[in-house]
Amino acid sequence: MKASKEVLMKKEILEKIEIRQGDITRLDVDAIVNAANTKLLGGGGVDGAIHRAAGPELLAECRTIGGCPTGEARITRGYNLPARHVIHTVGPVYSGKPQDSRLLTDCYLNSLTLAVANNLKTIAFPAISCGVYGYPLKEACKIAVDTSIEFIDRHPSLEKIIFIQFSEKDFEVYQDYIKSIS
């Protein structure tokens, strides 16, 4: 009895997780997550794309926040984005040390916690730390998905978590991982 209930619960949780390929700035969700840096003043990669699409008001709001330590998260409005909010989180620069996975887990946990605290139902993540910050995608994908599954289990108000990858190769890594745990 217990085993079948667990399997059912996992199916319900997995149905709330979606893997996509594309540009995160185009998503109409309650919040997109930005792989920001500690200054929160914009940068390259997904951070630059989000600031360009949101417009200068996003930078103006970020300036009032005064930065964000690695592993933590801060929320702003989405301005010209289709997404209502941006959750800015600062991933670790990959060093190969155990603290990397702790900090990356914190990024997902703190972003999801902020989403729930603000009554948001749908959230989309890029592969935090997997660009310029050099985190190996397969390891980061496992952290992202495992942390999210555990979080959804404890916070059923969350309706959808999207993991969106720019490249087909990265998209396939996420798809393969989801298949391996389904």
* Structural tokens at position 123: 């959230």
* DSSP letters for 110-178: HHHHHHHHTT--EEEE--TTSSTT---HHHHHHHHHHHHHHHHHH-TT--EEEEEESSHHHHHHHHHHH
Residue with smaller CB distance to ligand ADP, 83 or 120: 83
Contact residue for ligand ADP among 79, 108, 125, 133 (CB under 6 A): 133
Stretch that binds ligand ADP, among 67-75, 79-87, 105-113, 124-132 (CB under 6 A): 124-132
Smallest gap from residue 153 Cβ to ligand ADP (A): 26
Contact window for ligand ADP (CB under 6 A) among 3-11, 103-111, 163-171, 172-180 = 163-171
Does residue 166 touch ligand ADP according to CB under 6 A? yes
Strand arrangement of the beta sheet that strand 17-21 belongs to? 17-21, 160-165, 122-125, 31-36, 85-90, 73-77
d(CA 90, CA 41): 12
What is the closest distance, in whole angstroms, from the C-beta atom of residue 6 to ligand ADP in the complex? Answer: 32
Q: Please give the Cα distance from 46 to 50 (Å, whole number).
A: 6
Asked if 47 interacts with ligand ADP (CB under 6 A), we say: yes
Stretch that binds ligand ADP, among 44-52, 59-67, 71-79, 150-158 (CB under 6 A): 44-52
CA distances from 9 to 2, 130, 147, 170 (A): 11, 30, 16, 27
Q: Which CB, 49 or 178, lies closer to ligand ADP?
A: 49
Q: Name the residue nearer to ligand ADP (CB basis): 13 or 32.
A: 32
Chain residues in the site for ligand ADP (CB under 6 A)? 23-25, 35, 45-47, 49, 91, 126-133, 164, 166, 170
